[in-house]
Structure 1
Amino acid sequence: MTKLNRNVIIKSVGTYVPKKKVHKNELIQYFEQYGSQNEAKELMDEIGRETISMMDENETVITMSLASSKICLEKAGLTPNDIDVIISASNTPEFLSPTGAMLIRDGLNSNAHQVLDVNCDCIGMLQGLNVATSLLKLNKQYKRALVVGAFGCLRNSRKDNIISYATVGDNSTAMILEVQEEEIERGFLGHRSFTDSQYIEAIQFPACGMSKIFDKNIDEFEKRLRWDNFNSHFIPQSSADVITELLTDYNYKPEDVTQFFLSQFSIEYNELTMDAMSLPHNRFTFIADKYGYTGPCSPLLALHDRIQEKPFNESELCIMCSVAAGCIITALLYKW
């Protein structure tokens, strides 16, 4: 009897983008009050921004997560009770307790058995997919997992910070994974990571640390997200190295990959990552020009838009890769 592979495949992808859009010209005008309008324009042109998406005052990462989850379930033709595992991935959670996944379960009226949160900053959703894949492959009682990324950075940002207030966007993207036992091997094949902790002070939230969040002697400014410039020029080459190592693990080469879904922070860094692998620039999908950088959701939001535009064919490969504060780079290999 042929041994079947317990493949974990993408059943559906859903996304929620807030209706409110802010154009880069409005943002440039906004930064005139700080005398940094020229710097803002230069940065947005360099990394590729036209508009960003912003939650309204009544929205939270939980309301966005519920919206993207419902879209994802509808696309898959499933009900909340068809989900066994719920994983929430956000570095801007509404609550530390209870978990975001618990709130999503309750909001969906689901009877999911396993719920948990993952916070790996901007690779949180990728790591959430890793955890979900492992749970589904190792536990035969589980059939499906819902992984929900959410990013609500803008309201936590320092209002004079160009990086975090002019280039990011609010979003939730959800993905349903499903086990299918098959003779062929496909779905999520593996992952690789690279970590360098020398930049741990560049991006911190809250800037003062949680132990001082209620200290009345500390200004609110110090309780908001600090996002300083740091020498990040190593990221494209390091990303290319992680991706190449991952592909080598499975006897593939970069040219075998149909499409790359990378960190959406900078179009220039996407181009340089392709250059490092001697690939044309049409091999990556970039969507941050119309949404802004959406943190842990960013590579999966790009995947969502690519699937909407052009679905993948059987046996095609894609790479999902992103970068998180600290810094850490994680890449996933998926076979359709």
Structure 2
Amino acid sequence: MRNAIILSSGMYVPEQIVSNQYFNDLLGEDVDTWLRENVQIHERRWCTKEESVADLCVKAAEQILERANVKAEELDLLIIATDTPEYISPSTAAKVQDRIGAKDSGTFDVNTACAGFVTALDIASKYIRSDEQYNKVLVIGAYAMSKYLNLQDKKTVTLFADGASGVLLSADTSDSGRGFLGGELTTKGEYADWMGIYGGATKTPTSLEMVERGDHQLKFVKKFPSELNPEMWTQMALNLCKKLEVQPHEVAHIFLTQININSIHATMDRLGLPMDKTTTVMHHYGYTGSACIPMAFDQALQEGKVKEGDLVFFIGSGGGLSFGSAAFRL
């Protein structure tokens, strides 16, 4: 049976480093101490005024393809997961396809907010499994949320950052046991109006009034229950274990959304797993939304924390609230 294996990974973050001290000066208070002690963010990367999310995607794509020794012309499909797109329309993927020279690939964007990468990974894997014309699929999670931040809102401006990261999936017809093993997508739509960017689309079209209300910027409207992510992530991990007939300790590594390190600790505790079975990247990159899970995966892969044959889980969540999980044998 055809399956989708991960051929390579890669990432790119902007060169501009924004330290916690910047926010101390900007907001006129000590936020550095809270950020270090509570969310373990020391610094993050932001785009310059000249950079856009497509720029980040292009550089991440080039690294992913170079590591796989695959040319852009060999791609059959390019999927970009982002809720900070290049334009409202057309897709960011179409723009990136042209810039990297993937002239024979199909393209589309996925927006399940910060669960986007795992959602796109699930979609791409099933394309490869079900249709022989898709043999090389590039999946990128991308985030340029700095473009949407209110510089006076310390609840958001200190956390969110920019980056792009992803993987190249390839069709495998061998009996190796490698590749995509299953996944789950679910949504709690009752939380859709609790956090997001609510202006600039059909519900609140672009206008002076919209800008005055700040609807073009990221807003936390209501505080989410702190136990929500750990509960959902744990259950999704257990669902994957049940599907694959394995125990949590048999999973080599779990890659989780990087919005809150306390939620990651709580999830690993609930699963009875040590923290060395996960990877965190928020310390120097801040929160990079749909890019953060592939960034953590790329870091773990480059550092030798995961290797061929390992069973790994990807579990993400984002505004909506959208949740996604995917299991791979590397």
The aligned residue for residue 322 of structure 1 is 316
Aligned match for 2:20, one of 14, 24, 33 = 24
Question: Counterpart amino acid of 1:48?
Answer: Q
Question: Counterpart amino acid of 1:112?
Answer: D
Percent of aligned pairs with the same amino acid: 23
Q: Where do residues 1-336 of structure 1 align in structure 2 (5 Å cutoff)? A: 5-32=1-28, 37-38=29-30, 41-207=33-199, 210-218=202-210, 219=212, 221-228=214-221, 229-310=223-304, 312-336=306-330
Aligned mates of 1:19, 1:72 — CA distance in 2? 18
Unaligned runs of 5+ in 1: none
Aligned mates of 1:10, 1:59 — CA distance in 2? 29
* TM-align CA RMSD: 1.7
Aligned mates of 1:249, 1:54 — CA distance in 2? 39
Question: Counterpart amino acid of 2:116?
Answer: G
Cα deviation digits, residues 308-331 of structure 1 (max 9, x gap): 101533321111111111322211
Q: TM-score, normalised by structure 1?
A: 0.93
Q: Please tell me whether the aligned partners of residues 82 and 116 of structure 2 are also in contact (alpha carbons under 8 angstroms).
A: yes
Q: Please tell me whether the aligned partners of residues 154 and 164 of structure 1 are also in contact (alpha carbons under 8 angstroms).
A: no
Q: Secondary structure at the match of 1:190?
A: strand
Question: Counterpart amino acid of 1:16?
Answer: Y
Unaligned runs of 5+ in 2: none
Question: Counterpart amino acid of 2:273?
Answer: L
Question: Counterpart amino acid of 1:98?
Answer: P
Closer, same or farther: CA 52–58 of 1 in aligned 2, 3 Å: same
Aligned mates of 2:201, 2:90 — CA distance in 1? 20
- How many residues align? The count is 328
Q: Please tell me whether the aligned partners of residues 44 and 167 of structure 1 are also in contact (alpha carbons under 8 angstroms).
A: no
Report which stretch shifted further, 13-22 or 198-207. Answer: 198-207
Question: Counterpart amino acid of 1:221?
Answer: G
Aligned mates of 1:40, 1:207 — CA distance in 2? 30
Q: CA deviation at 1:161?
A: 1.9
Closer, same or farther: CA 194–97 of 1 in aligned 2, 3 Å: closer
Report which stretch shifted further, 150-159 or 161-170. Answer: 161-170
Q: Secondary structure at the match of 1:223?
A: coil
Aligned mates of 1:216, 1:19 — CA distance in 2? 33
